[in-house]
Amino acid sequence: MIRLCKDDEFHTVYSIINDAAGAYKGVIPTDCWKEPYMSKYELRHEMGEGVVPILIGTWADAVWPIRFYEKHGFRLVAPDEKDQLLKKYWTVPGRQIETSVVLR
What is the residue extent of each domain of the chain?
Answer: 7-103
- In this structure, the dihedral spanned by the alpha carbons of residues 90, 91, 97 and 101, taken in order and rounded to 10 degrees, is -20
46-51, Cβ contacts within 8 angstroms, sequence gap of 24 or more: 46/90, 46/91, 47/5, 47/10, 49/91, 51/89, 51/90
Quick check: pTM over 0.75?
A: no
Mean pLDDT of the 3-24 span: 89
Digit-coded pLDDT (tens) for 22-47 = 988 888 889 999 999 999 999 999 88
pLDDT for position 71: 92
Mean pLDDT of the 9-29 span: 90
